[in-house]
Amino acid sequence: MSKRRTERLLSIVVLLLSSRRYLTAEQIRAAVIGYPEQDEAFKRMFERDKEELRDLGIPLETGRANPIDDEIGYRIRRQDYELPEIHLEPDEAAVLGIASRVWQSAELAGAAAGALLKLKAASLELDDGDDGAASSSWSRGIQPRLTTQEPAFGPLWEAVRDRRPVTFDHLASGRSEVTRRTLEPWGVVNRRGRWYVAGYDRARNAPRVFRMSRIAGPVRLAGPPGSVTVPDGTDVSELVKDWDRTPARDRTAVLRVREHAGVILRKWARETAPEPGQSGWDRITVSFADVGWYAEYLASFGPDLVVLDPPDLREALISRLKGCL
C-alpha cells in the first residue's frame, strides 16, 4: 500500500519537474500509474497526494494549464525545487557533523538528520566529514546538546514557524490552579537549559513569557498560518532575560562560616578573614539581592553558617530553619 503510494508520489515529482507547462489533473492521471478509474476516488486520492507533497516541502505550483480555458494545472519549477550548489571545506564538513548531532528531541533531531542527508547528496565533500569528525581534532572541541523534554515544545515551535496563535493552560509558579492563555508567539528561547515561549498575550494585552514546563496539557492552534505578526525590533531573548532577571546584588551581609565550609560563598566574597576570638570560624562579607531568596540559599549550609548582619536576613534565616523542625 505504502509502496504504491510512494511510487505514485515519486512519479508525480519526476513528471512535474520534467514539464515546463502546467499539467492538468487529467494529464497527470494519464501519465502516472496507480490512480483509480473512478473519478471521485481519483479526485480524493489526488487531493491527498498534493497535500502530502506540499507537506514534504515540494514547491507544487498551480496556474492556468492553457490560455483558452480556466483549467488549473500543476508544475514544479526546478529552481524552486533543487537545493542550490553548496561546497564545503573539510573543517566546515566536520562542524556540520557536530551540528547535526546537537538536537536530541524527536521534533528537530529528525529534521537535522534529514538536512544532513540532503547536503550529503549535494556535496561530495561530506563523505568523510560526518564520521571523520568523530576522530578529527574538531570534535575534541565543544559538543552542545539541546533537549526538549517539555511536551509543549513541538506544537509551540510549529506555531512560531507558521506564525499561528495558540491557547494553552498555564500553571504559574507557586499556584495550584491553571489559567487559560491565548498567545501570539514571537519566538522560543532556551535559557539556562530551559525552554520558554515569548509573545503577545491577548487577554493581558501585553508581551508575556512562559516557561514551557509550566504549560499543562495540550497546546492548541488558535488561528490560520501567517496570522501572527512579530513587531519590528522584537528581541525575544531579551524578553526572557528580563523575565528571568537576576536582581542587582546591592545589599551586604556579614556571615560567620566554619573553616573549610561555604566554599562557593568564599569564591564570591568581598572579604574573608578569621573570626576574632572564635577559632575554627571565618568572617565573610558578601553582596546579595533579595532577602527571602538569599536566606533560603544560606539555610542550605545548616550549622556551618551564622548570619551576623543585616537583621532582616538573620530573621528570615531563623524562620526558614524553624520551618524544618
Q: How far is the CB of 191 from another protein (least distance, A)?
A: 5
246 counts as binding another protein under rule CB under 8 A = no
Q: How far is the CB of 24 from another protein (least distance, A)?
A: 12
> Which residues ranging from 60 to 89 are in contact with another protein (CB under 8 A)?
78, 80-84, 86, 88-89
Nearest to 222 by CA among 200, 204, 195: 200
Grid coordinates given for 144 = 552542545
DSSP category for residue 176: S
Q: Centre a 10 Å sphere on the Cβ of residue 145 and count the other Cβ atoms it contains.
A: 9
Comparing CB distances to another protein, the nearer of 166 and 188 is 188
Stretch that binds another protein, among 26-34, 36-44, 67-75, 218-226 (CB under 8 A): 26-34
With CB under 8 A as the contact rule, the residue among 121, 203, 216, 273 that binds another protein is 121
- Rounded Cα–Cα distance for residues 103 and 96 (Å): 13
* Per-residue contact string for residues 169-208; x = within reach of another protein by CB under 8 A: ----xxxx---------xxxxxxxxx--------------
135 counts as binding another protein under rule CB under 8 A = no
Stretch that binds another protein, among 38-46, 65-73, 144-152, 200-208 (CB under 8 A): 144-152
With CB under 8 A as the contact rule, the residue among 68, 264, 276, 280 that binds another protein is 264
Q: 122 burial class (0-12, 13-18, 19+ CB within 10 angstroms)?
A: middle
227 counts as binding another protein under rule CB under 8 A = no
- Cα distances from 185 to residues 96, 154, 174, 188, in angstroms, run 29, 13, 24, 8
20 counts as binding another protein under rule CB under 8 A = no
Q: How far is the CB of 254 from another protein (least distance, A)?
A: 14
Beta-carbon-side half-sphere exposure of residue 5 (alpha carbons within 13 Å): 9
> Which residues ranging from 40 to 59 are in contact with another protein (CB under 8 A)?
52, 55-59
The dihedral of CA 293, 297, 303, 306: what is its sign? negative
With CB under 8 A as the contact rule, the residue among 69, 143, 205, 276 that binds another protein is 143
Beta-carbon-side half-sphere exposure of residue 28 (alpha carbons within 13 Å): 30
248 counts as binding another protein under rule CB under 8 A = no
Grid coordinates given for 252 = 551586604
Q: How far is the CB of 253 from another protein (least distance, A)?
A: 15
Stretch that binds another protein, among 36-44, 154-162, 245-253, 282-290 (CB under 8 A): 154-162
222 counts as binding another protein under rule CB under 8 A = no
Q: Which residues pair with 285 in a beta bridge?
A: 254, 271
Q: Please give the torsion angle defined by the CA atoms of residues 249, 250, 255 and 260, in that order, rounded to the nearest 10 degrees.
A: 30
With CB under 8 A as the contact rule, the residue among 24, 237, 272, 285 that binds another protein is 237
Q: Centre a 10 Å sphere on the Cβ of residue 119 and count the other Cβ atoms it contains.
A: 19
124 counts as binding another protein under rule CB under 8 A = yes
167 counts as binding another protein under rule CB under 8 A = no
The answer to whether residues 73 and 19 touch, using CB atoms and an 8 Å cutoff, is: no
Q: Centre a 10 Å sphere on the Cβ of residue 126 and count the other Cβ atoms it contains.
A: 23
271 counts as binding another protein under rule CB under 8 A = no
Comparing CB distances to another protein, the nearer of 98 and 286 is 98
Grid coordinates given for 15 = 513528471
Comparing CB distances to another protein, the nearer of 157 and 288 is 157
Report phi then psi at 201, rounded to 5: -90, 115
303 counts as binding another protein under rule CB under 8 A = yes
259 counts as binding another protein under rule CB under 8 A = no
